[in-house]
Structure 1
Amino acid sequence: MSITDYIPLIVSTLIEISPVAASAPDINAETDLQGDLGVDSITLITMVFKLEEDTNLPIQAAILEAPDVATVGDLNTLMIGLS
């Protein structure tokens, strides 16, 4: 996987853990995690743990310092910054 694009991994993780994401027609960089997919704090934590496991990136610590992560693209940018 290119370190310049974690979006496919983020999308597949969302689909795996969120029923709303699994039925969403098109998840892309502009998709709002909470507004479009209903990602709540429990789902976000689950997603972060799974992404950390898959990438070995310290996402949990970084996301706490970057509360402006609202979209799939924001999370992708955060992950790129950690890689």
Structure 2
Amino acid sequence: MDTAHRPPTAVRTARGEGRPTQARAGLVRDAELAEHLAISRAMVHVLRSRGMPSVSIGRARRYDLDLCMAWLADHGADAGTHPAAS
């Protein structure tokens, strides 16, 4: 059987736990996004609460890396700062 033209059915997680990930489709988990941006997972959640795009897949939340990078470029450094106290 020629498997050269058949796409893989699942991509394994970085930890090798055997859970499929959506990385093939350009979607990443919060930990993967945090690693890519060199920020904490908590900061990823803060950014999401401020409007950074994400996708809900069942109970899981995934992020399109390209959309997140574009969102960050549009919102600049202010996206991650705390609002000023009044």
TM over 0.5: no
Q: Which has the higher strand share?
A: 2
> Taking CA–CA contacts closer than 8 Å with sequence separation of 6 or more, which of the two structures ends up with the larger relative contact order?
1
After TM superposition, the score normalised by the length of structure 1 is 0.31
Q: Which has the higher helix share?
A: 1
After TM superposition, the score normalised by the length of structure 2 is 0.31
Larger Rg: 2
